[in-house]
Amino acid sequence: MTSAEDRYRILLDASSSLADQPTVKAVLHSLRDVLSSTSRLHGTELYVLDDDENSLRVLEFDRDADAPTFKIGTRVSRIGAAARVLEEQKPVFVPDSSQEMLKHPELAPFAAETVGRTAYLFPVSTAQKRYGILAVTKLQGEKFAPEDVEMLRALSSHVAVALECALARDRADALAVDNALAFQEIAELKDKLAEEKFYLEDEIRTEHNFEEMVGESPALKLVLQQVETVARTDSTVLILGETGTGKELIARAIHHLSTRRARSLVKLNCAAIPTGLLESELFGHEKGAFTGAIAQKIGRVELADKGTLFLDEVGDIPLELQPKLLRVLQEQEFERLGGIRTIQVDARLVVATNRDLGQMVAQRQFRQDLFYRLNIFPIRMPPLRERAADIPLLVNFFVKKYAKRMGKRIDRVPTETMRALARWHWPGNVRELENVIERALILSQGPVLNVSLAELRGSMPTPPMTKVQTLEASEKEIILRALRESNGIIASAAGKLGMKRTTLNSKMRKLHVRRSDLFSA
């Protein structure tokens, strides 16, 4: 089994090497080289669909010397595990390759040569076309770890793109008239792989930031429980909370726990992009789409295909772009700016905002239908003033982080300092606390943390402490909100909360939630 960082690096190697291979054979050989760092493979085989899609044929293979000897071009019936992969577009495990080969009249004579082999079959598809199947074979004693299966599934998508590149080159060689179009297609596909590589590199740099979700308060525990509930679904998630509460860390946790974790988490801060450029950043543009568009650009939505798209500050998306985002959510399709080709995309959407979208809908600043599509599973990030119990833990975490980075040794945080930090209301939340600790580390000359308490007290009057909600009170509030949104229908509310109806009934009894409470205050 490989670590998360190793898997990302393997994907990086694949994105760098696969697109540059001149032939399909070279693509498979490169793929096997990339995978050699994880475990020994008995072979990799690529089966492509015939034009009628009723059968497949062996296009290329890269196998051990003792592997089956059937030839390139051998036709294979679309039955058994192969049929399941093509129909469901999901990986299928084959515990005994020899038994599977016996189902195919064309391969049955070679079944004896595959005794003691297991295999995984992966769909080789792009958003526009299904090409066939990638078969990865191992000795029976060597298992496929779940994490490696996810990585292989992601690699099969890279193979599909590389296959498009290789086939485009073949078309360019065979038909000189179509050279310009074919090489344009190659350039487009390589641009997409290059962009994916950029985001994979970013994931490597930030993969271990989950450890910064520090805390043991009931408010944070409730958030993490919600993350665990929704992560394994493909539902859209709306993360609400003030600036600096850690909304991006929650988005990363959702992606990391999801079935899409082997693919990229593509991010975009909608407030950081000028309005005139936001459409291009989201959906991409064609060459010549506007003044200065000297080349084609792949947008973030397209890059997030088979992965997760995180849109921060989604409330800043202009009204004129909101229908296009709504179409991605409802129809899973869009066109690039200046383009006419409809592009299919399968991306899980996670959005965040510090604004009141409901109020924006009332003020006609945000589309109501888009709000309903985004508000399927809201998660509220509590401000730091509601997590007072977490402040000492966060202080110690940031002290260790920046002391190590600056080469300093801090042995003690004075009790008075820690008490003052815990009482401060932190309008900038965790981000403000982190900045204060970093600045204090710079100023501290000895082993004791030196925080300027006068600076904290002088910057803004301290309001009364907000009472921290208990876990039970927070759960009751969330259940009541779900019931109100479902007009009191328990089955519908249970669906919104990601639990069974009987589980919700049990929680309502435990928390003394009554129907008469629904629309009070």
> What CATH number is attached to the domain comprising 393?
1.10.8.60
Residue 380 Cα distances to 242, 353, 368, 452, 478, angstroms: 9, 10, 20, 31, 10
Q: Are 283 and 335 in contact (CB under 8 A)?
A: yes
State whether 332 and 266 are in the same domain.
Answer: yes
Q: How far apart are CA 137 and CA 393, in angstroms?
A: 48
Q: Which residues pair with 308 in a beta bridge?
A: 265, 348
Does one domain contain both 175 and 36?
yes
Residue 466 covered by a domain: no
How many structural domains are present in the chain?
4
Mean pLDDT, the chain, rounded, equals 78
For residues 64 and 187, membership in a common domain is answered with yes
Whether 159 and 279 share a structural domain: no
Whose structure tokens read 């900045």?
435
Domain that holds residue 490: 471-517
Q: Which residue has the tokens 């600045």?
A: 439
DSSP letter at 48 equals E
Q: Which CATH number does the domain housing residue 263 bear? A: 3.40.50.300
- Percentage of the chain surpassing pLDDT 70? 74
Q: Residue 207 above 50 pLDDT? A: no
Measured CA to CA, the distance from residue 361 to residue 325 in angstroms comes to 16
Of the listed ranges 65-74, 252-261, 350-359, 483-492, the least confidently predicted one is 65-74
**Angle, vertex CA 229, rays to CA 226 and CA 232, nearest 5:** 135
- Is residue 336 located within the same domain as residue 244? yes
> Which pLDDT does position 366 carry in this prediction?
93
Query: How far, in Å, CA of 473 to CA of 480, rounded?
Result: 11
Q: Which of 159, 192, 225 is the last residue of a domain?
A: 192
* Single pTM value for the model: 0.55
> Cα(268)–Cα(290) distance, rounded to whole angstroms?
22
Number of CB atoms found within 10 A of residue 1's CB: 12
Q: Which are the contacts of 460, defined by CB distance < 8 A and separation ≥ 6?
A: 425, 427
125 and 97 share one domain: yes
Asked if residue 257 and residue 376 are part of one domain, the reply reads yes
Q: Do 186 and 218 fall into the same domain?
A: no
Could you tell me if 173 and 235 lie in one domain? no
Q: Does 203 map to a domain?
A: no
Determine, yes or no, domain membership for 208: no
Asked if the structure places residue 435 within a domain, the reply is yes
- Phi, psi for 55 (deg, rounded to 5): -150, 165
> How far apart are the C-alpha atoms of 380 and 354, rounded to whole Å?
10
146-174 and 179-206 helices cross at what angle (nearest 10)?
Answer: 160
Neighbours of 256 (CB within 10 A): 18
End-to-end CA distance of the chain: 53
Amino acid identity of 129?
K
Residue 60 is inside which H or E element, if any? strand 55-63
In a domain, 256, yes or no: yes
Average pLDDT over residues 469-491: 72
Q: Is pLDDT larger for residue 97 or for residue 498?
A: 97
Structural domain includes residue 64: yes
Q: Please compute the mean of the pLDDT values over residues 310-334 and round it to a whole number.
A: 93
Asked if the structure places residue 286 within a domain, the reply is yes
Measured CA to CA, the distance from residue 432 to residue 458 in angstroms comes to 15
Check which CATH number belongs to the domain holding 126 and give it: 3.30.450.40
pLDDT attached to residue 206: 41
Q: Is residue 465 part of a domain?
A: no
Give the pLDDT band (50/70/90) at residue 468. very low
Last residue of a domain, one of 459, 494, 509: 459
**Beta bridge partner(s), residue 46:** 60, 134
In this structure, the chain runs to a length of: 521
Q: Residues 403, 371: one domain?
A: no
Phi, psi of 263 (to 5 degrees): -100, 180
In the chain, the largest separation of any two C-alpha atoms, in whole Å, equals: 84
3-state helix, strand, coil in the chain (%, to 5): 50, 15, 35
| Pairing mode, strands 348-353 and 333-335 | unpaired
What is the pLDDT averaged over residues 28-52? 70
Q: Which amino acid, one-letter code, is at 244?
A: G
